[in-house]
Amino acid sequence: AAGVIQSPRHLIKEKRETATLKCYPIPRHDTVYWYQQGPGQDPQFLISFYEKMQSDKGSIPDRFSAQQFSDYHSELNMSSLELGDSALYFCASSFRDFNNEQFFGPGTRLTVL
Amino acid sequence: AQKVTQAQTEISVVEKEDVTLDCVYETRDTTYYLFWYKQPPSGELVFLIRRNSFDEQNEISGRYSWNFQKSTSSFNFTITASQVVDSAVYFCALSGAAGNKLTFGGGTRVLVKP
């Protein structure tokens, strides 16, 4: 069965650079979630989209922005990168029903030097 | 606000021992979902189990079992006859009826020694 695809899987950037992370949800899933997991920490919710509209927002820095496109894929744009942005970024998708089963992608490991 | 607490930061066992992971949650929602995820050293998040707030029936699935007690807001998870491949970080998570975002606990690292 198709799973959530994230690209790239690994990304190395310098401070103050920008990065774009992409997420391709499972076909027919209409909701995408982004989570950030710092080293040794639990995943923290950043933002979610339902039918291309932002549905919820967590502790996402103002330097970050995200959107969901007409084909339901999503991109997380990160600017003015800081060392503290080094983390594993997960995307999850779901079909917005009451069972709330989120399927996670393999994650993108971002390293900021 | 929702909160999930996993008091155990690390558990070390010898293979074939049982491991029980504790999870306590806080939420004001009357309808909510509880989850357990496994994160092996490779980093991906693997879904293990999900329970909704209306179903306190405890079940066993293979070597996994869970104990959901609404009265104490606990959702404990047990691995029976642990194996080396069970070594991972285990996260308990909670989602409410609104928004569906997951709130994770701090995780419990399980080390199963041969």
DSSP letters, A13-44, are: E-TT--EEEEEEPPTT--EEEEEEE-TTS--E
Q: For residue B101, what is the nearest residue in chain A, using CA coordinates?
A: A45
Facing residue for B50 by CB, picked from A42, A96, A101: A101
- Beta carbons of B107 and A90 less than 8 Å apart: no
> Which residues lie closer than 8 Å to A12 by C-beta, 6 or more apart?
A110, A111, A112, A113
Answer for the pair B21, B6: CB distance below 8 angstroms, yes or no. Answer: yes
For residue A75, give the amino acid letter. Answer: E
Residue B41 and residue B53: Cα distance in Å, rounded? Answer: 31
Instruction: Quote the minimal CA–CA distance from A45 to chain B in Å.
Output: 7
Of A85, A62, A63, A65, residue with least CA distance to A14: A85
Q: Give the residue numbers in B contacting A (CB under 8 Å), as ranges.
A: 33, 37, 43-45, 47, 50, 52, 91, 95, 97, 99-107
What mean pLDDT value characterizes chain A? 93
Looking at the complex, report in whole angstroms how far the Cα of residue B19 sits from the nearest Cα belonging to chain A: 21
The pLDDT score that the predictor gives to residue A33 is 95
Q: What are phi and psi of B51, to 5 degrees?
A: -140, 140
Buried b (16+ CB within 10 A) or exposed e, A71-87: ebbbbbebeebeeebbb
Would you give per-residue pLDDT tens digits along chain B (114 residues)? 889 999 999 999 999 999 999 999 999 988 899 999 999 999 999 989 888 888 777 777 789 999 999 999 999 999 999 999 999 999 999 998 666 889 999 999 999 999
With CB atoms and an 8 Å threshold, state whether A102 touches B102: yes
Nearest-neighbour CA in chain B from A97: distance (Å) = 10
In the chain, the amino acid numbered B12 is S
Q: Chain A residue with minimal CA distance to B99?
A: A56
pLDDT 10s digits, A49-77 = 999 999 889 989 999 999 999 999 999 99
User: Shortest CB distance from B45 goes to which of A44, A56, A90?
Assistant: A90
CA distances for B112 relative to A56, B10, B89, angstroms: 38, 11, 11
Which helix (H) or strand (E) segment holds residue B76: the answer is: strand B74-79
Which runs of E-coded beta strand occur in chain A? 5-7, 10-13, 19-24, 31-37, 44-50, 53-57, 64-68, 74-78, 87-94, 103-104, 108-112
Residue B39 to chain A, least CA–CA distance (Å): 10
For residue A70, the model assigns a pLDDT of 94
pLDDT at A80: 97
* Separation of alpha carbons A5 and B101, rounded Å: 19
State residue A99's pLDDT score.
Answer: 60
The yes-or-no verdict on residue A110 having pLDDT over 90 is: yes
Tokens 């997960």, located at residue: A90
**Interface contact A55-B99, CB threshold 8 A:** yes
pLDDT tens digits, A84-106: 999 999 999 988 755 667 889 99
Per-residue confidence (pLDDT) for residue A2, from 0 to 100: 80
